[in-house]
Amino acid sequence: MATTRRSKKAKVAYVCTECGGESPRWEGRCPHCAEWNTLQEFQPRDEPTDTHRFAALAGASPVQKLSEVQAKELPRQPTGLSEFDRALGGGLVPGGVILIGGDPGVGKSTLLLQAMASLAQVTQVLYVTGEESAEQVALRAQRLGLPTEGVDLLAEIRLETITDTLLSLKPKIVVIDSIQTLYSAQLSAAPGSVSQVRECAAQLTRLAKQNGICMVFIGHVTKDGSLAGPRVLEHIVDTVLYFEGDPQSSFRLVRAFKNRFGAVNELGVFAMTDRGLRGVTNPSALFLSQHQQQVPGSCVVATLEGTRPLLVEIQALVDTAHIPNPRRLSVGLEGNRLAMLLAVMNRHAGVVTYDQDVFVNAVGGVRISEPAADLAVLLAIMSSLNNKPLPKGLIVFGEVGLAGEIRPAPRGQERLREAAKLGFSVALIPKANAPKQPIEGLDIWAVERVDDAVAQLRASYT
């Protein structure tokens, strides 16, 4: 009897919600990724049950020569939303599993309902709702004015019922809203727990791969913006999308962080209207402030989001510090990189800011992670410090090194063409990015070092 109790007790394990690592006992800190308070209890199933249910995942396969494998391009199904297709890499792929996360109320269900209404005109689709009733989904579709005649709807959270429905209807595209609401009768844990999320995602992914069903999971996010549940969920799926947006703004961004069928960091831009989400054809206009005249501390950078060039305005405010430790604050840009740029300005350009508060912001709520924005940040700070606006129609990009050199940015020609298309007349860029052929309407200032860029701007004022 004691042996039986010990064996049952040994079946309790703890899983990290960040890295997915397992631990035999609860600890305040995960032994795998060193994150605090991320271990959650779950109960593994008996070994015979695991072997029976997952036998289809380990089918025998002979060894093949890679050169003899016949690879073919998978056909893509456009969703009818061009910006969504851009983030996906061109459209939906049969057998692909997509995970899309975002803050509550950002528009995940609205976006996918619009996509399903469009896809229902050309293929068979199924919308599984676990958070809302069928009447609530119908009311949203009616409010948005969507054609829903071909959309099959299932209000269910039990995994076994959903899989039976998928096998009987055989839809081509399925939306699960959301993966955290589902539960399997094989487990005693509550819906949304680590074990339930892992089990439901694994079973639905296996079903999608075996039957060529494109499946889209809607996932909840935690307070820090990451997807709730174990990080292993992101490894199971083929594509991970994040739906971003400020609740006070009408604009939404869909960004790809993982894509086995396309490029990562692709960006789709939407505007939230009373008729749903609408794609923005010229997203650069969102991130440029409409100043009546040139103002100090403003510089436009040509950045790259995936394969799309975007023009974003960088604003800087430099003010006299009234405390011993001046503040350094950046919104939409990396804070540590801001401190590095201030040191480079002091050492190689003679621009002193040790007694100044420095605030930097990327207009429009966009986040810029590439180092090609370094030069624009540096020039915006210098403009605010001197209280002199930069030349009208100036576009800037380039990475700044610790030695004061300005390094080239990838795909510089596309950045310059986007700037010329939007009416910019002067480009301050790294010398290595200087075009071999002149670009109509665009004057090129090619520089090699930070002090050369500062001297070029001071010469333009005279």
Q: Global pTM?
A: 0.75
Residues in the chain: 462
Mean of the per-residue pLDDT values of the chain: 86
Q: Report whether 108 belongs to an annotated binding site.
A: yes
Judge contact between 288 and 313, C-beta under 8 A. Answer: yes
128: enclosing H helix or E strand? strand 125-129
What local confidence, expressed as pLDDT, does residue 43 receive? 63
Beta carbons of 13 and 42 less than 8 angstroms apart: yes
Q: What is the pLDDT of residue 253?
A: 86
Distance CA 50, CA 226 (A): 29
Residue 221: name the closest of 442, 72, 17 by CA: 17
391 marked among binding-site residues: no
Q: Model confidence over 385-442: pLDDT tens digits?
A: 999 999 989 999 999 999 999 999 999 999 999 899 888 999 999 999 999 888 888 9
Q: Is 105 annotated as a binding residue?
A: yes
- 104 a known binding residue? yes
Which position has the higher pLDDT, 4 or 152?
A: 152
Pairing of strands 308-320, 298-305: antiparallel
Residue 28 counted as an annotated binding residue: no
Q: Which residues contact 454 (CB under 8 A, 6 or more apart)?
A: 349, 350, 351, 382
Amino acid found at 79: T
- What burial letters (b/e) apply to 404-429, b meaning 16+ CB within 10 Å? bbbbebeebeebbebbbebebebbbb
Contact by Cβ (8 Å): 176, 214 = no
Taking only the tens place, the pLDDT of each residue in 189-224 is 778 777 888 889 999 999 999 999 999 999 887 655
% of the chain residues with pLDDT over 90 = 52
- Positive or negative, the Cα torsion across 443, 449, 450, 452? negative
Say whether 350 counts as a known binding-site residue. Answer: no
User: What is the token pair recorded at 136?
Assistant: 């609530």
The answer to whether 8 is a known ligand-binding residue is: no
Structure confidence by residue, pLDDT tens digits, 147-193: 989 999 999 999 999 999 999 999 999 999 989 899 998 887 778 77
